[in-house]
Amino acid sequence: MLETKSTCPYCGVGCGVVIEHDGQQITGVRGDPDHPANFGRLCSKGINLHHTASPLVRQTQRLLTPQWRAARGGALRPSSWDMANERLAAELLRIRRQHGPEAIGFYISGQLLTEDYCAFNKLARGVIKTPHIDSNSRLCMSSAVAGYKQSLGADAPPCSYEDVEQAECILVIGANPAWAHPVLFRRLEAARAHRAGRPGQKLIVVDPRRTESAELADLHLQLQPGTDVALLHGLLHAWIWNGWVDQDFIAARTEGFDALKALVREWTPARAAQVCGLREVDLWTAAEWFARAAGSLSLYCQGLNQSSSGTAKNTALINLHLATAQIGKPGAGPFSLTGQPNAMGGREAGGMATLLPGHRDPADPAQRAEVAALWGLDASETLPGPGHTALALFEGAARGEVKALWIACTNPAQSLPDQALVRQALQRCELVVLQEAFAGTATEAYADWVLPAASWGEKEGTVTNSERRISRVRAALAPPGEARADWRIVRDVALRLEPQLRPGLAPLFRADEGPESLWLQHRETTRGRDLDIGGLSWAALDRDGPQQWPFVQGPTNRLYTDARFVFPDGRARFIAKPYQAPAERLSPQRPFALLSSRLRDQWHGMSRSGRVPTLFAHTPQPKLRLHPQDAARRGLADGDLVRVSTARGAVLLPLQLDRSLRLGAADLPMHWGPEFLRHGVNEVSAAARCPDSQQPELKFSAAQIEAV
């Protein structure tokens, strides 16, 4: 029996795993006791990973050879890699020649490895010269990115998982880590079980649902959906007018406090409580616990991010940490929990329309020139500026401006909001390329080319988890059939394009390009930046195990310990953004706030977790959850078939009565696709976006719920 250490490919906790195999077959998986993210623990998804790589799944549910369609709607036919690469390169050249580089867009994924991101970024921006490369991380963490950058000067979560054990007060807001980040939550549970070691530790959970995380809380603030900014401004008001802010820290280390103070003047705790639908006394309790704790830590995720006010919610939370100096010390800080396994690595490698490698800004010509030089581009070449973010990319395709979409490791025909527009976009494109490991995703039906990609247990590279920890991903088996590593698929097309598009210039891609060389190129882009890993080597990662960035002389477990932030003057910024209600207003025609949530045992669109029958035991089928009182008022009973309709469409599914919901809220888990519901749950979800982050408001739609 052989053992290979790697990393779980699901959530951003980034647990280390030990893959048990014989070189031909993966027989088991267990938690890596040496990995600092999980110390041997795994959740239900992680412990079942080997079932997603069973011989049956690899032989019958994977894409095994390149395939193409002669015409839309026709059958897929197998192709050799040579033919696929030749024809794909020729089509990209034709579209670029006829319509310009901006007619080509890339939609990639937070599940790709950092090295895959590097390859895609070089192909898109460096070879084709299109600005349009964005990731499904746009749906996940882009509000957190914007919040950190606006408030602290860089997209850098300042905390570590050990802060969960060191905090005296933990505020969980817009997150249900008990289900979405289970191993981190086990750590929180364990810390609280030893309460004697931290007398007085408090847990506050802010969520319209009484989740399993909320069940553990000392205080659950079951607020009106979408009112987080009102709550956070109310807490700050309470502190300011009770003298609970740290005036010395504010004066010495921050800018912008007076404007924020003027903004929150009207947000008295009484008014905030009224808008949020909370008891004022509970708001005061939360205010006192957070402000007076020696260390206050915030854990947050999609409840703050997936919102038309996503950046306002993030900055309002960071304001609280700055006002009380709850940052840069043990057990303190605003800590975004990453949804995907390598959304962080994608941000570091600049695989998004609003980011360049090394956390650089594509809107800044000087920073574009730095990247061009680091990539070895000729002095005559420039990199494109900011491109379309995810939804804008598909809107551009629906308008007929974007002619080619190369989609990798994600399933937009299920996961993006406003599915009618997504279908129109995919149908209108002249070329849709799908690079994917699993067969039969919803997007496959629109693809002209389907390229089989390697999956977990078959790839080499790195990922970065929520606490900035870079871990190695390792292959135990060769990919099945003719599937290939994502970076290699990109490289082989790039090698055909470069002589045509950059004749006579030093190539960006080498024929011997591989994970290590791509990682070394990535490392060079970080030198002198906030995420500098110049002191780290591939060999050290292999030898010493996962490491947190920045890593110059050694790893860094906590940022801003010297209270110097990443702005040129070293001072953090208070951001004064007003509270705004969700984009869609409730009305007699659509009186329910439709939320979306995660299930404990499923992940994203189920393309991997959906292959494991035991993971359906917890929740076997899609159901709409509604409070019994709301159901009774409509004459609905548990199990009734209901029609959930929003401004965009409708889905039919059974009703589940659930007292954990706030009155007036309904909950539809995000995972269910077209194989369970016609067009899947995103037929009804909202596409309104945060103006700063362009993250869509997947968490709130105005909906009607009726008996069928």
| Tokens, residue 411 | 């399933």
Largest distance between two CA atoms of the chain = 73
**Whose Cβ is closer to ligand SF4: residue 13's or residue 206's?**
13
401, 400, 405: which is closest to 428 by C-alpha?
400
> In the window 179-218, what residues touch ligand SF4 (CB under 6 A)?
181-183
Strand order in the sheet with 26-31: 2-7, 16-21, 26-31
How many degrees, rounded to 5, is the angle at CA 445 between CA 444 and CA 451?
30
Residues 6+ apart with CB under 8 A from 116: 108, 408, 409, 461, 485, 486, 487, 490
**Whose Cβ is closer to ligand SF4: residue 107's or residue 161's?**
161
- Give the Cβ contact number of residue 279 at 10 Å: 11
Cβ at position 337, least distance to ligand SF4 in Å: 10
Residue nearest to ligand SF4 (CB): 46
79, 6, 29: which is closest to 475 by C-alpha?
6
Cβ at position 365, least distance to ligand SF4 in Å: 39
Cβ at position 656, least distance to ligand SF4 in Å: 24
Cβ at position 35, least distance to ligand SF4 in Å: 10
Residues 7 and 341: beta-carbon distance below 8 Å: yes
Strand pairing of 202-206 and 219-221? parallel
* Whole-angstrom distance, CA of residue 225 vs CA of residue 700: 8
**Whose Cβ is closer to ligand SF4: residue 8's or residue 353's?**
8
| Tokens, residue 192 | 């609280």
Cβ at position 41, least distance to ligand SF4 in Å: 7
**Whose Cβ is closer to ligand SF4: residue 13's or residue 232's?**
13
Cβ at position 13, least distance to ligand SF4 in Å: 4
Cβ at position 300, least distance to ligand SF4 in Å: 17
Cβ at position 28, least distance to ligand SF4 in Å: 14
**Whose Cβ is closer to ligand SF4: residue 37's or residue 681's?**
37
Number of residues that bind ligand SF4 (CB under 6 A): 14
In this chain, which stretch among 4-12, 541-549, 638-646, 688-696 interacts with ligand SF4, using CB under 6 A?
4-12
**Whose Cβ is closer to ligand SF4: residue 45's or residue 468's?**
45
* Whole-angstrom distance, CA of residue 104 vs CA of residue 91: 11
Cβ at position 460, least distance to ligand SF4 in Å: 19
Helix (H, G, I), strand (E, B) or coil at 4: strand
DSSP calls for 437-499: SBTT-GGGGG-SEEEEB--TTS--EEEE-TTSEEEEE--SSPPSTT-B-HHHHHHHHHHHHHH
Sign for the CA dihedral angle at 427, 430, 435, 437 comes to: positive
What burial letters (b/e) apply to 160-174, b meaning 16+ CB within 10 Å?
Answer: bbbbbbbbbbbbbbb
**Whose Cβ is closer to ligand SF4: residue 51's or residue 423's?**
51
Cβ at position 14, least distance to ligand SF4 in Å: 6
Cβ at position 335, least distance to ligand SF4 in Å: 15
User: Computed over its alpha carbons, how large is the radius of gyration of the chain?
Assistant: 24
| Tokens, residue 297 | 């830590």
Cβ at position 548, least distance to ligand SF4 in Å: 16
**Whose Cβ is closer to ligand SF4: residue 46's or residue 225's?**
46
Partners of 626 in the beta sheet?
Answer: 657, 666
Cβ at position 120, least distance to ligand SF4 in Å: 23
Residues 253 and 565: beta-carbon distance below 8 Å: yes
φ, ψ at 203 (rounded to 5°): -120, 120
- Which helix (DSSP H) or strand (DSSP E) does residue 312 occupy? helix 310-323
Cβ at position 47, least distance to ligand SF4 in Å: 7
**Whose Cβ is closer to ligand SF4: residue 14's or residue 417's?**
14
Q: What is the DSSP letter of 273?
A: H
**Whose Cβ is closer to ligand SF4: residue 18's or residue 119's?**
18
- Give the Cβ contact number of residue 24 at 10 Å: 10
State the number of CA atoms in the 13 A half-sphere of 582 facing the CB. Answer: 30
**Whose Cβ is closer to ligand SF4: residue 38's or residue 443's?**
38
φ, ψ at 192 (rounded to 5°): -75, -30
Tokens 């509604």 label which residue? 626
**Whose Cβ is closer to ligand SF4: residue 8's or residue 283's?**
8
Residues 450 and 431: beta-carbon distance below 8 Å: no
One-letter amino acid for residue 163 of the chain: D
**Whose Cβ is closer to ligand SF4: residue 43's or residue 327's?**
43
Cβ at position 12, least distance to ligand SF4 in Å: 7
**Whose Cβ is closer to ligand SF4: residue 295's or residue 669's?**
669
* Whole-angstrom distance, CA of residue 437 vs CA of residue 475: 15
Total residues belonging to the chain: 708
Cβ at position 185, least distance to ligand SF4 in Å: 8
Measured CA to CA in angstroms, residue 528 lies from 511, 523, 534, 551 at distances of 29, 11, 8, 11
Residues 526 and 348: beta-carbon distance below 8 Å: yes
**Whose Cβ is closer to ligand SF4: residue 179's or residue 700's?**
179
| Tokens, residue 508 | 């960006």
**Whose Cβ is closer to ligand SF4: residue 181's or residue 403's?**
181
> In the window 587-616, what residues touch ligand SF4 (CB under 6 A)?
none
Residue 113 as a binder of ligand SF4 (CB under 6 A): the answer is no
298, 375, 364, 373: which is closest to 333 by C-alpha?
298
Cβ at position 162, least distance to ligand SF4 in Å: 16
In this chain, which stretch among 5-13, 354-362, 439-447, 466-474 interacts with ligand SF4, using CB under 6 A?
5-13
* Whole-angstrom distance, CA of residue 46 vs CA of residue 523: 29
Show the binding pattern over residues 8-47: x = contacts ligand SF4 (CB under 6 A), - = does not.
x-xx-xxx----------------------x---xx-xx-
**Whose Cβ is closer to ligand SF4: residue 161's or residue 549's?**
161
The footprint of ligand SF4 (CB under 6 A) covers 8, 10-11, 13-15, 38, 42-43, 45-46, 181-183
